[in-house]
Amino acid sequence: MKKRLSISDIANNLGVSVTTVSFILNGKAKEKRISDALTKRVQDYVKKVDYKPNQLAKSLRTGKSKSIGLLVEDISNPFFANIADHIEKMAYDNGYHIIYCSMNNDEQRAKELIQLFRDRQIDGFVIAPTEGLSEVINSLIKQAVPVVLFDRPLADVETHTVLSENMNGAYVGTMYLLEQKKAKRIGFVTTTSTQSQMKGRLEGYMKAIDKVGMDLLVKKINPSLTDDDIAQQLQSFIADNKLDAVLFATNYLAVDGLKAIKKYQIAINNLVSFDENTAFALVEPPVSAISQNIKEIASEVVRILLSQINGKSTQIEQVVIPCDLIER
Amino acid sequence: MKKRLSISDIANNLGVSVTTVSFILNGKAKEKRISDALTKRVQDYVKKVDYKPNQLAKSLRTGKSKSIGLLVEDISNPFFANIADHIEKMAYDNGYHIIYCSMNNDEQRAKELIQLFRDRQIDGFVIAPTEGLSEVINSLIKQAVPVVLFDRPLADVETHTVLSENMNGAYVGTMYLLEQKKAKRIGFVTTTSTQSQMKGRLEGYMKAIDKVGMDLLVKKINPSLTDDDIAQQLQSFIADNKLDAVLFATNYLAVDGLKAIKKYQIAINNLVSFDENTAFALVEPPVSAISQNIKEIASEVVRILLSQINGKSTQIEQVVIPCDLIER
DNA sequence: CTGAAAGCGCTAACAC
DNA sequence: GTGTTAGCGCTTTCAG
């Protein structure tokens, strides 16, 4: 790799000191009252030789790396992929870049990753946490590392969070099945995992069902089962309980549901899912969606994190973003 | 942020020199013939105080950052999301981590990003290139920065590539429609963009069609049109040409096709797409897929890149990975 | 076997 | 207005 120019090369070649060059490069020319002529000469030369400062050295010196760690469960989940995309864009617009990782349900690995990111002098973290992460996240917070959690809070972690209105979203989705679709037996499909966003969604469902005094019909799916077993369980759930409508707690559960419906040729018309998925508009019957406002979630996450990094805000911000019901 | 321990803190607290600590930490204790007792004492202490070396300083000194830049067009495309996931995993297993970015069709931004990554002393690049990037990628190569291209080559860039067998995949997919589905009028839907993987797929289609002497029926969709316009065009394409089968050049075009089919209630049974998409197994009629071997692509990409970074191989590797036909 | 010290490229207090 | 210089935390040569 051809040796890159350093700031002292620039200074030497121009016959000025590195300080001068550094000041000019960092926009402090005016402040340090460096002559316009010199400023221009340095800038022109820098452009001409296409000099780029070594960010590593800069970071080492300033303690800021201008990078943000993004940790999600699974980047191939369209919800996370879209969020990641937006966060990346907004961070970039603010001069930050993203280092991302999927945790893939591996708690040990997640912890290592967080540590690793710390060692790279990451300026802040954006995390959709899994349950075992409380301790390591708390230790970040104790060390005053900026952290923003999204999608789900962590019971024993007090920090900035950006969440969707899970309870209300599920409530609205259930009411839609009740009132528009005139459903009489509405099932709710969630996971066995106890992530708090799932709890909120269950509550929303229960609140709506309780309001009209219907039966609560809830199925918890263990995500580690095989596709076939899951399909089998869903088919029984729908058939045994004579459901005429189902609310799914998240997009991949709805996809599982659609697989079961197809495989067992189940006749059911009223389907609603939390989150979007390309398949929802395409299948017959289509799946309505309680759509999280991904753009706004991303923008709040970045806003809060940056204000943390820049030491602007001290109080803990907990933002809740409403969902939209997409009727299909 | 509580001040972190540095190597000299460790050395001072232990009454040894930083050199000794550094050697031990880097596994050179034996080589440098440092006593087992001392080695153990240092290691125990390091563990006790949970000391972690500052990677930035390490990188600055060694010139290696142990990180890889991954540039794709759009991380919310499931094909790229899955590839990213695998690449990230394999890189991590080798002690590397990923800095990723979506380029979102913004050539200017892509160039900036590549430059930015360079400034961060990235050890290597993995890129699914867009057309305008030849120049900047060539300049990376000239500077001996390891680069691996995947998904599509760039005509005027000579470097390592990992590609799918596009031509043969499309050929097999078309033959499937011909022989198994007895289709008589098979259309091919691709994009107006001239990415080379699309060319290969078109060739595969043509080769199969020519073989049986049927008419070539090709529609190029301009991706910047609105969803409605695209649906409209696809509906005309299918109706005007009385198609009984369609081969889509990529998963999002097939999704567009499914939208059109649904919107206009088009009766067509024989659909095949390049790439997978969750929707394909769920819709009626289902969409068969020419599935790229994502895991193998990722593993080849990482293997080649690492061997470049470690200076092991000199010759240019161009790997082609076969596709699987998933019949539905 | 171990230590002193140079230096990776940059920033910024301090001096002139 | 501009230059000198001390580090940021680490690796590694060279001397003992």
The pLDDT tens digits for A138-184 are 999 988 899 999 999 998 999 999 999 999 999 999 999 999 999 99
pLDDT digits (tens, 9 = 90+) for B12-63: 888 898 999 999 998 888 888 888 888 999 999 899 888 888 888 999 898 8
Within 7 Å of a protein beta carbon, the nucleotides of strand C are 1-5, 7-14
pLDDT, position B12: 87
- Of residues A36 and A273, which shows the higher confidence score? A273
A34 CA from D2 C1′ (Å): 8
Cα atoms in the Cβ-side hemisphere of radius 13 Å centred on B62: 12
pLDDT, position B3: 64
Asked if residue A33 keeps its beta carbon closer than 7 A to nucleic acid strand D, the reply is yes
A42 CA from C9 C1′ (Å): 18
In sequence order, the 6+-apart residues with CB closer than 8 A to the CB of B126 are B68, B69, B70, B71, B87, B147, B148, B150, B301, B305
Nearest-CA neighbor of B75 among B105, B113, B32, B37? Answer: B105
Choose among B1, B67, B119: nearest Cβ to A52.
B119
CB contact under 8 A, B101 and A98: yes
Helix axes A251-263, A227-240, angle to 10 degrees: 80
- Given a contact cutoff of 8 angstroms between Cβ atoms, the answer to whether A56 and A84 are in contact is no
CA–CA separation, A209 vs B84, rounded Å? 41
Length of chain B: 328
pLDDT digits (tens, 9 = 90+) for B191-248: 998 888 999 999 999 999 999 999 999 999 999 999 999 999 999 999 999 999 999 9
Assess whether pLDDT exceeds 80 at residue A313: no
Mind telling me how many Å the CA of B29 is from chain A's nearest CA? 23
Six token digits for residue A215: 């039966």
Per-residue 3-state assignment (H helix, E strand, C coil) for chain B? CCCCCCHHHHHHHHCCCHHHHHHHHCCCCCCCCCCHHHHHHHHHHHHHHCCCCCHHHHHHHHCCCCEEEEEECCCCCHHHHHHHHHHHHHHHHCCCEEEEEECCCCHHHHHHHHHHHHHCCCCEEEECCCHHHHHHHHHHHHCCCCEEEECCCCCCCCCEEEEECHHHHHHHHHHHHHHCCCCCCEEEEEECCCCHHHHHHHHHHHHHHHHHCCCCEEEEECCCCCHHHHHHHHHHHHHHCCCCEEEECCHHHHHHHHHHHHHCCCCCCEEEEECCCHHHHCCCCCEEEEECCHHHHHHHHHHHHHHHHCCCCCCCCEEEECCEEECC
Assess whether pLDDT exceeds 80 at residue B139: yes
- Of residues B257 and A38, which shows the higher confidence score? B257
Asked if residue A14 keeps its beta carbon closer than 7 A to nucleic acid strand D, the reply is no
Give, for A238, the enclosing helix (H) or strand (E).
helix A227-240
Output Rg (C-alpha) for chain A, integer angstroms: 26
Asked if residue B7 keeps its beta carbon closer than 7 A to nucleic acid strand D, the reply is yes
Q: Which nucleotide is nearest to B20 (CA to C1')?
A: C2
pTM attached to this predicted model: 0.89
- Return the top range by mean pLDDT from A109-113, B95-99, B228-232: B228-232
Name the protein residue, with chain letter, whose CA is nearest the C1' of D11: B61
Confidence of residue A3 (pLDDT cuts 50, 70, 90): low
pLDDT, position B98: 87
If DSSP codes are grouped into helix, strand and coil, which group holds residue A222?
coil
- Return the top range by mean pLDDT from A41-50, A109-118, A212-221: A212-221
Average pLDDT over residues B124-136: 93
Assess whether pLDDT exceeds 90 at residue B117: no
- Given a contact cutoff of 8 angstroms between Cβ atoms, the answer to whether A152 and A181 are in contact is no
CA–CA separation, B302 vs A11, rounded Å? 39
Average pLDDT over residues B261-281: 96
Asked if residue B13 keeps its beta carbon closer than 7 A to nucleic acid strand D, the reply is no
Nearest-CA neighbor of B217 among B266, B262, B177, B267? Answer: B177
Confidence of residue B100 (pLDDT cuts 50, 70, 90): confident
Q: Which nucleotide is nearest to B52 (CA to C1')?
A: D9
Cα–chain-centroid distance for residue B45? 42
CA–CA separation, B100 vs B63, rounded Å? 20
Cβ-based burial of A228 (10 A; exposed 0-12, middle 13-18, buried ≥19): exposed
Domains of chain A: 7-53 (1.10.260), 64-164+295-321 (3.40.50.2300), 166-291 (3.40.50.2300)
Assess whether pLDDT exceeds 70 at residue A1: no
Nearest-CA neighbor of A316 among A210, A159, A185? Answer: A159
